[in-house]
Amino acid sequence: VVKAFEMEIIPARRIVAQIGDTLTLTCNTTGCASPSFSWRTHLDNPLGGKVSNHRTYSTLTMNPVSSGNSHPYLCTVICDEKERKEKQVKVEPYSFPSDPIIEISPSSVAGEPATVICQIPDVYPSNGLEVLLKKDGHVLHEKNFFEDWSTDTETKIVRYKFHPMAEDIGKEITCVARLLIDDTDFEPKERTSSRKLNANFGPQNTMITASPGNSPMEGDSLNLTCVTQSNPPPQTVWSKYLAEESIQHLIKNNVLSIPHVHFNDSGLYICEVINPVTNKTEKATVDIIIQGAPVITKLSVEPSTTVQEGENVSIQCSAESSPPPKIILRRKSDKADMGRYGARSILLPSVTFQNGGDYECVAENKFGNSRSEITLNVKYGPRNTMITVIPTDALKEGETVTMKCTSSGNPAPVISWKKKKATGESEKISENATLTIQNLKSQDLGLYECEAYNPFGKEEKAVKLYVQARLEEPDQMIPLIIAFSSVAAVAVPAVAILIYVSRQAKINGSYSLVKALRLKV
């Protein structure tokens, strides 16, 4: 059985090929021993490929496929130079190699125009391209290139300008590109790319939160957080107003932490936020009041805690707390209030030794109280120097006499004894406060001087000793006793004698009635 002459072209009728790939068209025959093959394009354009003839088939290979291969290709077969047959296949190149590239104009600021740019690289044919721009799934813009008859691959660009708002931050802008070629099964027909919207804005709605609150207790930890809306995140600078209207710069951080607050941490704190991109600045303030029991910050004596009698002295007490403290300043020995409330200092003009002692400052409020003490040490010279002689009645030879000298002063005075010599000069005889004379003799009579001394002065007192001579016969004491008795019987002379004795004792510092009577009788 002889087969009839037949031919076929593979693929048949239509082929869609990606630019850059390799495509081979095959022309087969049956029923012909010696076929002759030829290839040509519509309007005899260049083949754009390589022909390879074999005994029963011929191939046309396009390597790589280009946009120039967009033609109907016709294969002609002549069998034994008698019979001729032709068939054609349409080659449709396309290019859709990668996802779109999406950009948003840099440094866009919320409320100001921003431009979205979507690029579709190396697309062909352009007249099948459709592009959508979406924001969170909602179409912002749509464009097609159905009237674009470009003959080669091109990068197509879609631009769209819009006004992003602060609430748009973080939303996705998506570019959807579709290459629409009818009745084809190539993949992908759709490519997408997305980018989050990053508009710059702020700072705005800046505020400070305080934890545990605006009025923490002393010793608590305090965290101040500066909260704002800004993109990009702002620079944060903390500062604090000082009393002299100056500003103390603290840290560059959105959280200011004070582990253990003190009263001097009270004040007005400022948070300043700066967006370097938008070049905008915003401030927020918070007034912090530290509460707690009073703390005495100063208890002092001016010019010094040790002063000399006669100087002007100021005692000062200061305390801090919230609520403000009640302050009591007093001397502990008498508990006398010397100042209250706003009177934080007391003046002692021309201070005396009686003003010396421990002073107490008490500060209190509803949360508690605190106390502090300071000692005022008043230096003064010797005074109130006194001499005590034992025995106190008339002295007699052979007795023991003790003379004690006392004196007050700060520092304690140094006591010494001197005795007047016959020449009128004084001779130091003791550096003890107590002078003891044993086996009293007539040569011990005379004027004794007690001197009290310290760096701030000296004071002297004197006493004159008169010694009653010892009588050989006891009976000779009788006239003296009789004299005292007879004097006692006469009222007026007795009064006169007593007055005279008293005056002589004061004048001479003498403890001897014998001498006084002897002068009178």
Domain boundaries along the sequence of the chain: 6-94, 101-199, 206-288, 292-379, 380-465
Across residues 95-99, what is the average pLDDT? 94
Q: Is the pLDDT of residue 402 over 70?
A: yes
Spell out the CATH class of 6-94. mainly beta
Q: Please, which pLDDT band fits residue 338 given cuts at 50, 70 and 90?
A: low
Alpha-carbon dihedral sign for residues 503, 508, 509, 511: negative
Predicted confidence (pLDDT) per residue in 269-280, tens digit: 999 999 998 889
- Res 107: pLDDT: 56
Across residues 52-81, what is the average pLDDT? 93
Whether the bond into 164 is cis, omega within 30 of 0: no
Q: Would you say 317 and 242 are in contact if contact means Cβ atoms under 8 Å apart?
A: no
Q: Is the pLDDT of residue 515 over 50?
A: no
Radius of gyration of the chain (CA): 62
Element (H, E) at 281: strand 280-288
- Res 237: pLDDT: 93
CATH T-level topology, domain 206-288 = Immunoglobulin-like (2.60.40)
Q: Which CATH architecture has domain 380-465?
A: Sandwich (2.60)
To the nearest whole percent, how much of the chain has pLDDT over 90?
Answer: 62
Spell out the CATH class of 292-379. mainly beta
Predicted confidence (pLDDT) per residue in 500-512, tens digit: 333 333 333 333 3
- Residues with Cβ within 8 Å of 53's Cβ and at least 6 positions away in sequence, in order, are 37
Predicted confidence (pLDDT) per residue in 1-16, tens digit: 567 899 999 998 899 9
DSSP 171: P
Mean pLDDT (the chain) is 84
Q: Please, which pLDDT band fits residue 87 given cuts at 50, 70 and 90?
A: very high
| Whole-number Cα distances in Å, 395 to 348, 436, 440 | 49, 14, 9
Element (H, E) at 190: strand 190-196
- How many other C-beta atoms can be found within 10 angstroms of the C-beta atom of residue 412? 11
Q: Would you say 80 and 2 are in contact if contact means Cβ atoms under 8 Å apart?
A: no
Across residues 246-271, what is the average pLDDT? 89
- Res 247: pLDDT: 78
Predicted confidence (pLDDT) per residue in 432-476, tens digit: 999 999 998 888 888 999 999 999 999 999 998 876 654 433 333
d(CA 362, CA 295): 10
| Whole-number Cα distances in Å, 429 to 390, 395, 415, 510 | 19, 21, 11, 20
Predicted confidence (pLDDT) per residue in 135-165, tens digit: 988 999 999 999 999 999 999 999 999 888 8
Across residues 19-36, what is the average pLDDT? 93
Across residues 82-99, what is the average pLDDT? 93
| More confident of the two residues 167 and 261 | 261
- Res 444: pLDDT: 87
Say if 206-288 and 380-465 have the same CATH topology: yes
| Whole-number Cα distances in Å, 434 to 100, 252, 417 | 117, 77, 9
Q: Please, which pLDDT band fits residue 336 given cuts at 50, 70 and 90?
A: low
List the structure tokens of 79: 């069998």
Q: Is the pLDDT of residue 346 over 90?
A: no
**What is the CATH number assigned to the segment(s) 101-199?**
2.60.40.10
